[in-house]
Amino acid sequence: MMWYPWYPVEHKRATNKLSLSEQGAYRQLIDEYMTNREPLPDDDLALARILGVGLEEWLAISPNVRVFFKSQKGRLVHKRCESELHVQDLKMQRFSDRGKKAAAARYNKDKDLNASRMHVHATGQDITGHYRTNKKEGGVGEGRNGEGNGKVFIAVDTPQWKAWGKLRSWPQTDHRVDGRLQRGWFFPTEWPHEFAPDPN
């Protein structure tokens, strides 16, 4: 664990009778507990090593520090630490569940898109129900339902599309032009006359 909540007022109230060395040892043992996310060993030599002190030095302060822990099956359990670890586990589980839901939503969206593309390939219709372009000449497509008859298909993000976009916003639908799936719309001419390039 990289961090955990600390409540200085509660800590001070609970440890106000400890000496400075006892408070330091107690805090260091709490850090060890939360960092490893597990109870401490109920072994004085091991606890002395965790604190980085000799066994005698630890034994001199251990009675007043041990009272904050409960010995269970060879381990020292701290009630507040266990409570905080449980809260952390619940939070991580919620984050994990959200991530799984988001991944599932993305997967279903991609699956639906792939299904739409398969429908286009099988029926010749785009996701709007319109037929894809079945004629092409120099990048110009014409739709069967009259949507593009006599008009020029302009793909999005092209200079021509940007020029038409200066006049107003236009619909964007998928069409098969020159054997490739492209997104764009049909226009009367390749360029709006206001922005037509100078032929000279």
Whole-number pLDDT of residue 103: 78
Kindly report the average pLDDT of the chain as a whole number.
81
- Cα–Cα dist 28/20, whole Å: 12
Whole-number pLDDT of residue 102: 78
Strands (E), the chain: 40-41, 70-72, 75-77, 133-137, 140-143, 152-155, 173-177, 180-187
**For residue range 138-157, what is the model confidence (pLDDT) as tens digits?**
333 344 333 444 588 899 99
Whole-number pLDDT of residue 134: 42
* 185's tokens: 């719309």
Domains of the chain, residue spans? 8-85, 133-195
CATH class of domain segment(s) 8-85: mainly alpha
